[in-house]
Amino acid sequence: MYQRFYFIYDSPWMEQPEEEKQSTDNQAEYSKKEDNIKKDNYVISKSKGHNFPQRTDYDFKAIEKAYIYKVNHIEQVYSNRLNKSDKKLGPLDGLSLREKEEIIRRRLQEGVIGDSNVTVSEVCRVYLDVKHNLAKSTANNYECYYKRYIKDSVLGKKKVVELKKSDILMYYKEKSDQGLANGTIAIIQKIIHPALDLAVDDRIIPRNPSNRCMKEYQCECEVKDALTVEEQKLLLEYLRDNSKTESYYHIFQVALLTAMRIGELLGLTWDDVNFKDNYIDINHQLVYRPDGKTELYLLPPKTKAGIRQIPMNNTLREIMIAQKRVWFSSYRDPKFEVDGKSIFCFISDKGRYMFNSNLNRALKKAKDAILDETKRDDIFENSISCHILRYTSATRLAESGMTPATLQYILGHSDPKRTMQIYVHAQKKQIRRELELADTLAL
Query: What pLDDT, in 10s, does the model give residues 302-331?
Result: 788 999 999 999 999 999 999 999 999 988
Burial 144-169 (b: 16+ CB within 10 A, else e): ebbeebbbebebbebebbebeeebbb
Cα 9 to Cα 334: distance, rounded to the nearest angstrom:
71
pLDDT above 70 as % of the chain: 72
pLDDT above 90 as % of the chain: 44
Q: What is the pLDDT of residue 262?
A: 93
Q: In CATH, what class is 229-438?
A: mainly alpha
Report pLDDT digits (tens) over 30-63: 444 444 333 333 333 333 333 333 333 333 333 3
Q: What ranges do the domains of the chain cover?
A: 2-109, 120-221, 229-438
Q: What is the pLDDT of residue 290?
A: 56
102 band by pLDDT with thresholds 50, 70 and 90: confident
Give the number of residues written for the chain.
Answer: 443
Task: Note whether 317 and 278 are within 8 A (CB).
Answer: yes
Task: Note whether 212 and 196 are within 8 A (CB).
Answer: no
438 band by pLDDT with thresholds 50, 70 and 90: low
Which residues on adjacent β-strands are paired with residue 281? Answer: 309
Cα 424 to Cα 224: distance, rounded to the nearest angstrom:
13
Whether 287 shows a pLDDT value over 90: the answer reads no
CA–CA–CA angle 390, 395, 399 (5° rounding): 150
Report pLDDT digits (tens) over 62-89: 333 333 333 344 455 667 777 888 776 6
**pLDDT averaged over every residue in the chain:** 78
Tell me which fold the domain 120-221 belongs to. Answer: DNA polymerase; domain 1 (1.10.150)
Choose between 65 and 426: higher pLDDT.
426
**Looking at residues 386-390, what average pLDDT do you find?**
94
12-26, 208-222, 277-291 — most confident range: 277-291
Residue 180 burial by Cβ neighbours in a 10 Å radius (0-12, 13-18, 19+): middle
3 band by pLDDT with thresholds 50, 70 and 90: very low
Q: What is the pLDDT of residue 53?
A: 39
Q: What is the pLDDT of residue 369?
A: 95
Other C-beta atoms closer than 10 Å to the C-beta of 388 total 18
Q: Determine which of 8-17, 137-146, 346-355 has the lowest per-residue pLDDT on average.
A: 8-17
Q: Can you give the pTM of this predicted structure? A: 0.62
**Looking at residues 214-232, what average pLDDT do you find?**
78
The closest alpha carbon to 383, from 400, 403, 366, belongs to 366
Task: Note whether 194 and 127 are within 8 A (CB).
Answer: yes
Please list, in sequence order, all residues whose beta carbon lies within 8 angstroms of the beta carbon of residue 41, skipping any fewer than 6 positions away: 3, 68
